[in-house]
Structure 1
Amino acid sequence: MEDIRFCPEHGYYRGERCDRCNHKGELILDKVKVEKLGRFISGILRHFPDRFGLEMDENGWVDFEKLSKVVSRKYRWANKWLIKAIVYSDKKGRYELSDGKIRARYGHSVDVKLNDYEEAENDVLYYGTSEEEAHRLLEIGIKPVNQKFVHLSTTIDKGIEVALLRTDEPIILMVDAKKARTAGIKFLKANNHIVLSEEIPPEFIKIIEIEKEE
């Protein structure tokens, strides 16, 4: 986790210096508060809006001002500007702000449809996992686990990055999204690195070899 700072020219960023101009901006949130606030916001927007009386529409949007009030009650030092700092500095594109509303772009366990997402046009997608899990998925397919959608990576490198969170020996499954799409499976673009989908049957999945560094 990194601190959030503000660059006068390029806005909020994470780390010591702005990666666009190398300016060391004003400290906005230290990394401890970034983690606390980020976890709370993502928890509400992905898993438990009802717990705090927030209404979420079928596309995952909640009212930004109402969320800000909930956050301020939880953390007295927090306000809507710090929420925006979390959103705009997030390198993984977890959140979206528009027309007075906010949502998580992916990771939902609550029932959302995300009908306003752009459909992904990738011919192939990737899923990083462990060796043991990979062989099981080749038999039963890839299904959402504790989430509404399957989360796929747009590149092999991103698939490896995800898999390394769970195993030191990543295995990459390739999904033939082009064929799956013709079979009626819908793919939604969450951001440039993540695509969401329904369950992927095993006939559209295969293991690919990863070149290992010597």
Structure 2
Amino acid sequence: MIRKCKDHGYFRGEECPDCGEEGRYVLDDDREERLGRFVSGALRHFPDDVGIEMDPQGWVDLDQLCEVMKRRYKWGTMERLVSLVESDKKGRYEIDDGYIRARYGHSVDVDLISDYPANELDYLYYGVSQEEADMLLDNGIYPIRQCYVHLSTLFDKAMEAASVHTDNPVIIEVDANAAQQDGVDIVTVNDDIVLARGIPPEYLTVVEDE
């Protein structure tokens, strides 16, 4: 459920987390999920298939995306599209000067390295299964289905992400400071996620706990 507080903007849930007000209804759970799947597909995976143009940095004209959306969903409006972006706690998307893009999760090739600030944290984290850990420590971390490796800024976030796929996550610590000094590009896309084209094995170690 997405609602809008007159003082604090769009939020998800029954009441505004900042003031407790109920706010105005914008989007129910079912439509939020359907719209979310469409936006994710259009901005991350198949822009050509839905008929939108994407620039090399992943930006898409907001009006164009909205028009395509309206043809699929008669209830689709610009406000509902914007509310999906602005209420998203995971910071999946961003809107700037009439354009929209996904911050991460792309399977289509986009250049985000030149467009986001360099990571400033000394260490980053990556959660994997027990079976994967040894292979990554030997060979490094490189993307498989996506364009970028997605690293977590916090140990707990890496554990949370890995727990979706395995019951016994292994958390690999990335010496980001050393990697960047040696020329590995690592960029920050939001408070939780950092991207790289790949991390060679010499910067990786297993950590037992935070």
Q: Shorter-chain TM-score category?
A: over 0.9
Tell me the equivalent position of 2:111: 113
Report the CA distance between 1:102 and its aligned residue.
Answer: 0.3
Partners of 1:136 and 1:15 in 2: CA distance: 41
2:62 is aligned to 64
Cα separation, 2, equivalents of 1:94 and 1:62: 15
Q: Which residue of structure 1 lines up, in the alignment, with residue 205 of structure 2?
A: 206
1:52 corresponding residue in structure 2: 50
Moved more, 60-69 or 130-139: 130-139
Pick from 3, 6, 10 the counterpart of residue 8 of structure 2: 10
- Give the SS at the match of 1:107: coil
1:162 Cα deviation from its structure 2 partner:
0.5
Equivalents in 2 of 1:19, 1:169: separation in Å? 33
- Structure 2: distance between partners of 1:133 and 1:36: 33
Mapped to 2, the partners of 1:210 and 1:166 lie a distance apart of 19
Q: Give distance in 2, aligned partners of 1:49 and 1:144.
A: 20
Range with bigger deviation, 115-124 or 184-193 = 115-124
Gaps of 5+ in 2: none
- How do 1:64-143 and structure 2 match up within 5 A? 64-114=62-112, 115-143=114-142
Secondary structure of 1:125 counterpart: strand
Q: Offset of 1:160 from its aligned partner? A: 0.7
TM-score (norm 1): 0.95
> Is 1:161 the counterpart of 2:160 in the alignment?
yes
Give the count of matched residue pairs: 209
> Runs of 4+ in structure 1 displaced over 2 angstroms?
none
TM-score w.r.t. structure 2 length? 0.97
Alpha-carbon distance, 1:79 to partner: 1.1
Deviation of the 1:134 alpha carbon? 1.3
**C-alpha deviation, 1:210, in angstroms:** 2.2
Instruction: Please state how far the C-alpha of 1:53 moved relative to its aligned partner.
Output: 2.2
Partner Cα separation in structure 1 for residue 30 and residue 133 of structure 2:
35
- Provide structure 1 residue ranges, at least 5 long, that are not aligned to the other structure: none
CA distance in 1, matches of 2:30, 2:51: 27
CA distance in 2, matches of 1:35, 1:136: 36
CA RMSD of aligned residues (A): 1.0
The more displaced of 70-79 and 51-60 is 51-60
| TM-superposed deviation, 1:198 | 1.5
Q: Deviations over 1:174-211 (max 9, x none)?
A: 00011111221101111011000011111110100027
One-letter amino acid of the structure 2 residue matched with residue 63 of structure 1: D
Letter in 1 for 2:28: D
- What are the superposed Cα offsets for residues 16-61 of structure 1, whole Å, 9 maximum, x if unpaired? 1111111112221111111110010011000111112211111110
User: What is the SS of the residue equivalent to 1:41?
Assistant: helix
